[in-house]
Chain A
Amino acid sequence: MRKGRRYDPLWLLLLLDLILALFIMGINGYNWQNTSSRVIGQAIDALAQGHLGSGIPSGRGNDLDLSVIEPGDILLGGYDGATYGKFTHAAIYEGEGIAWQGWLSSGVSKVRIERFWQYDRACILRVNTDAENRRQAVEMVADWDGQLFYPLAFKPGDRVWNCTKIIWEAYRRLGLELDSGHDLWITPDNLYRSPLVSVIAQDGDL
């Protein structure tokens, strides 16, 4: 009787990982020409330079003018040496000095906006829509209070979040696509570059 060839299931699992990764990249328009300019390519470049994670605070901080902020505005902050861009964190302003963020140790949660003074650079973005839409976006994010944060959360789905996905998803449900990169993930830099936002204030090492 012919003996069947045995494949190690761990190799099959590795193969499945690779096929699934290539499939997801493929349906998102990745190819040999454009990968270097997209999030994965930029992350690989950053990693090659030893930039891992959300950057290293220099301690300089910034003097962002927070007095101009309005409910629904987007706050971005960033440190040097991050894997995924100039800006590394995002939050959406609710009012009374409070914004909503996605954070590992607190999930979707509230944060004092003064915290953004700690970043080496920070800015306030205003989505080009009416105040009612911006208020609705904040309410939507508030509904996700306490839900799970995962830094590598993809755009689809509403159980796993990161700091930018909560903002992007809230505005997307209102018909506003803020992802200028049209990528697998929505990065703070892609929010910054969106044609649907205006920079209201910015400061620091930009």
Chain B
Amino acid sequence: MIWTACRLLTFNLLYAVLVWLTMYFPGLDLLAAVAFVCVLFIWSRRMVRNGMTTGKVMATAFLAQLPGLIFSVLALHSWWRYGPLTSYFDFALQMWHTPFLPLLSLLPPIRIQGFPLYFLLGYVLSPLYILLMGLFARTLPADSENRVRIDRLF
């Protein structure tokens, strides 16, 4: 589980760089972000196939999202203690969630209490990621014939 979490974490980092670079070619970044979600789907199914329970898949996702969770907690703590945006943790959080950024850019430009939706979502993306992995793990029964087969990927 730890090994898989480390690989998932490394994947997040490398994919963040990839999505950032694809932003140079508008449109390609959206494709890359959608592909990221697809890979997470395949990966979570693969974990189930390798004998992991949904709980273990979510625990693995939790470990892989530790940087995002820690940045969220530190940014919120800094906000609560010293006021909004007083630390670099918000920036670090946005960098960490770069794989989702093109999708966030499609959100309507609405503000809640003066803060844009994309900014507020940054704080809950890590828990959402964990839930998403759990949801993906439960989507299809382990022995389903509809399973996506990319055996060599992970």
Contact = CB atoms under 8 A, between A and B. Distances in A.
Given A145-B109, A158-B26, A159-B105, A24 B21 contact: yes
A150 B10 CA distance: 22
B69 to A, nearest CB: 19
Interface in B5-25: 7, 10-11, 14-15, 17-18, 20-25
Nearest to A107: B116
Interface stretch (B47-55, B85-93, B127-135, B139-147): B85-93
Contacts of A147: 105, 109
A57 B37 CA distance: 39
B115 interface: yes
A9 B23 CA distance: 22
A53 B91 contact: yes
B31 to A, nearest CB: 13
B90 A104 contact: yes
B38 to A, nearest CB: 14
A52 B26 CA distance: 27
A153 interface: yes
A156 interface: yes
Given A105-B84, A146-B116, A154-B23, A159 B111 contact: no
Question: Across chains A and B, which 10 residue pairs bring their CB atoms closest together, nearest first?
Answer: A146-B109, A157-B26, A159-B105, A107-B116, A20-B21, A105-B85, A13-B14, A154-B24, A148-B105, A17-B17
